[in-house]
Structures are given as C-alpha cells and as structure tokens.
C-alpha cells in the first residue's frame, strides 16, 4: 500500500487516512493506496465498515493539476479515477466519507462514490473544474444530479462555485453534519449503519426526473452561460454532461462525460487557464524567503502617484479595510492651475466618495526644465504607513515634495474638505 494512504482500525471499523500534504491531492500513489485499503478492509472479517478521512487541514482538495499538464504535453489520456470510484461503490462493506476543509473536484467525486457522506459544519464541497477550462471527468456530472437534483448540479458544474456543508446537507449531498470531533463522529456513524444496505449513488435516479422535464433547466443554463461566461467552452460542456445523466444509463453517461472532458482538457482555453492557475501561485512566492517566515502585518499604506495604477492600488487597499494615504503629484502649465485643482477634486470625489479627506493641498513653483510649470501635490488621507511606489520617481524627490506640501499649506488648512481647499469651478 502507498505511504500516502494509511489504514488503521478502531475495533470493528477501518480508518483509511489520506495523507498527502498540503491538500491531499489525488496525486499518483493516492488512488492506488485507497484501492488497496478498500481491498484490505473487505478481506478483514473483523471489520464491518470503513471511514475515509483526510489528514491535516482538509479532506481531498482535488486532483493533482500537474497530471493534466502531463496529459496534454504527452498527447495521450491517462487512467481516470472512474475505475477506483466504481470499486469503492461496489465494496461489500459500507464506506463512509468524512469531509472537513474542502472536497473539491476529484475530492467530491471521491466522496460521492462512498455510501455515506459526513461533514464538519465548516466544510465546503464543489466541482470547480470549469475554472480550469475542464469539467469533472470521473463521474462527477453523473453522480451529482443523482444526489442534489438536476438544477443544482448544473449550477455547481457550470459555474464552479462551492457550497457550504450545511447547504450540502439540505440538498442531500451530505447525510449528516458532525459537530466536534469528525473522526469520532464518523466512526460512531459507521457502526450505526454497518448492518444496513450499502446504497450506491449511481443507482439513484429519483432526483434525475424525466428527460423532458429538464429541458427548461438546460435551456436556461445555456442562456445564462452566454451572458455570464460568453466564449468559454467548459461551462457548456458541463451542462451537456449533466444533461447526459438525465438521458443515458450511468455507464453511457460516464462515457459521454469522458469525451467532453478530453475535448476540454486538450483545448487552448484549458491550457491557458491552467497556466494562469500556476502563474498566480508562483507570483505569490518570493525567492529565498522560506514558507515559514512570518508575514509582517500591514496596518497602513502610503501610495505615491494617483494615476490609473496608483488609484487602482489605493482602491484595493481601501476595499480591504487598510488605512491608506495617497500622494497625488500633477504637472500643469500655469494657465491650467485652476483646472488642475478641479480635476483633483473631481478625481477624489469620484474614486473615493466616502473615504477621502484632504490633509494637504498646495502649489509650488517648479525648477529646472520645468520652470514654466507648476507642481501640484495633494495628499489624500484615506485612512495611512508603508509606501507603495506607483510612479517612476526618486523616493528622495517624493519625500521633498511631501515635506514641501505640509510646510506650505500650514496647519489651518489641514483637515479641511476638498470642496473648501479646491478652487471653485468656472
């Protein structure tokens, strides 16, 4: 058995623990380890049921996305999770999936193959594959509508948004919420249902409804995609796959899903979105700084430059609730001094309607080649500290401008509104 999956026993209940940090992704070795543990559990006559749980902070957060890159680069499909999930579903003894943290993508597909699903109240589940330009590829679009209904399955697969454990319980995706110790609760539940029949998700059809009845749902979903996700292939493919669940037997539905999955995976859209996925995570890493290095709390921010970039950065910090100081430095000919003042006032009132308060506003004559121009520095106090340089200027120049501004306007002008400080219009 793989070292990534461990099996222990609590008397008559087997505990299968997936231990592949940090997020227990279904990397090579994990599916094989789960399959071997299921076999061992079924061979042990002293075991009546099994609990599958994730080590650390989460259940299974999804597939190993790097495997998708290997598949597209080699041009050949690799084995899917579908055989493993069928193997779990066909287990002669009940398998209880205990979910904490996240069960996303392949993690939720794994959970749906279990006979019962338990979750901590803070857990989340979802099928976010469309965000990578693909769809569920291991029966997710076929099992999900059998548990939550067609409309909700279409929404979850086409939009990729997660739902809370409480909503999952209301929908029937989760059988019971566990407060407190998840493992202890799952073991107790496993003993409770050990003598009961093992319900297979793939055999449930009640929530699928009639194929004709789902026509309106699929039409509305496709119309929504055209409005909100125009041009993206994966959301439409996800809808097609869920629709197949309402029209085809489970095995044939999985075949249709597999074909759509492959078309999406090898598309340029998927390759681009997967590249973005890894790119966003790479830029968050700083070379030569260990992961365990504690982050310095940022309580105040000062931004130099109020153009497109500076204004955007300021808005991001303000929206995040961070005290922010914006230093706006503009250049204009003397003829346009009044217009420049009005422009700054308009800019402040439009971009920072409720958070801006002027603490400095003044005019200083320029020097050197800018001798014919005026420099108009305005410090907009939005709430204040660390500097983010949004313009290509020397920090020394910035400090001189800031100091000159404060000394120039005098204490009587500080704290006044922009309307009081700016010249009147006209």
Asked if 142 and 130 touch (Cβ cutoff 8 Å), the reply is: no
Of 377, 375, 333, 382, give the one whose Cα is nearest residue 357. 382
Strands (DSSP E) found in 138-252: 163-164, 176-178
Question: What φ, ψ does residue 333 adopt, rounded to 5°?
Answer: -70, 160
212 is an active site residue: no
| Sign of the dihedral through C-alpha 283, 286, 288, 294 | negative
Asked if 344 and 378 touch (Cβ cutoff 8 Å), the reply is: yes
Determine how many CB atoms are found less than 10 A away from the CB of residue 245: 27
Cα distances (angstroms) measured from residue 72 to each of 69, 77, 167, 383: 5, 8, 35, 49
Catalytic residue (choose from 67, 89, 109, 223): 109
Q: How far apart are CA 345 and CA 342, in angstroms?
A: 5
- Tokens, residue 392: 């290509």
CB-based burial label for 45 (10 Å; 0-12, 13-18, 19+): exposed
Q: 161 Cβ partners below 8 Å, 6+ apart?
A: 126, 128, 155
243 is an active site residue: no
Asked if 240 and 260 touch (Cβ cutoff 8 Å), the reply is: yes
Catalytic residue (choose from 89, 129, 155, 159): 129
CB-based burial label for 74 (10 Å; 0-12, 13-18, 19+): exposed
- Tokens, residue 31: 């599916």
Return the CA Rg of the chain. Answer: 29
Q: How far apart are CA 283 and CA 321, in angstroms?
A: 23
Q: How far apart are CA 104 and CA 50, in angstroms?
A: 21
Q: Which residues are catalytic?
A: 109, 129
């Amino acid at each position: 058995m793989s070292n990534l999956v461990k099996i222990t026993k609590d008397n008559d209940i087997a505990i299968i623990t997936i231990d592949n940090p940090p997020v227990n992704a279904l990397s090579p070795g994990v599916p094989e380890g789960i399959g071997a543990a299921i076999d061992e559990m079924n061979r042990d006559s002293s075991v009546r049921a099994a609990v599958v749980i994730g080590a650390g902070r989460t259940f299974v957060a999804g597939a190993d996305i790097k495997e998708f890159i290997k598949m597209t680069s080699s041009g050949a499909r690799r084995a899917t999770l579908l055989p493993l999930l069928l193997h779990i579903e066909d287990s002669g003894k009940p398998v209880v999936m205990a979910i904490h943290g996240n069960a996303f993508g392949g993690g939720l597909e794994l959970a749906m193959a279990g006979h019962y699903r338990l979750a901590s109240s803070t857990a989340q589940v979802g099928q976010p594959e469309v965000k990578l330009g693909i769809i569920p590829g291991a029966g997710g679009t076929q099992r999900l509508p059998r548990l939550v209904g067609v409309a909700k399955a279409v929404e979850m697969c086409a939009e990729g948004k997660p739902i809370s454990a409480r909503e999952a319980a209301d929908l029937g995706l989760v059988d019971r919420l566990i407060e407190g110790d998840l493992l202890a609760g799952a073991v107790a539940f496993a003993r409770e249902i050990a003598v009961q029949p093992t319900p297979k998700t793939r055999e449930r059809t009640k929530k699928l409804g009639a194929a004709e009845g789902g026509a309106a749902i699929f039409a509305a979903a496709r119309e929504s995609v055209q409005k909100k996700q125009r041009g993206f292939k994966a959301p439409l493919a996800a809808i097609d796959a869920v629709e197949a669940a309402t029209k085809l037997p489970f095995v044939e539905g999985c075949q249709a899903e597999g074909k759509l999955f492959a078309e999406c995976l090898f598309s340029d859209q998927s390759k681009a979105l997967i590249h973005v996925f890894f790119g966003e995570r790479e830029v968050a890493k700083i070379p030569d700084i260990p992961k365990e290095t504690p982050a310095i709390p940022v309580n105040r921010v000062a931004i130099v430059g109020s153009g497109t970039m500076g204004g955007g950065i300021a808005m991001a910090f303000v929206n995040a609730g961070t005290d922010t100081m914006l230093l706006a430095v503009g250049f204009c000919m003397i003829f346009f001094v009044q217009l420049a003042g009005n422009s700054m006032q308009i800019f402040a009132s439009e971009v920072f309607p409720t958070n801006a308060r002027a603490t400095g506003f003044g005019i200083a004559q320029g020097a050197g080649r800018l001798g014919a121009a005026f420099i108009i520095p305005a410090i907009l106090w939005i709430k204040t500290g660390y500097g983010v340089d949004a313009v290509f200027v020397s920090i020394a120049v910035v400090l001189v401008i800031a100091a000159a501004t404060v000394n120039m306007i005098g204490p009587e002008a500080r704290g006044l509104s922009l309307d009081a400080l700016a010249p009147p219009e006209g």
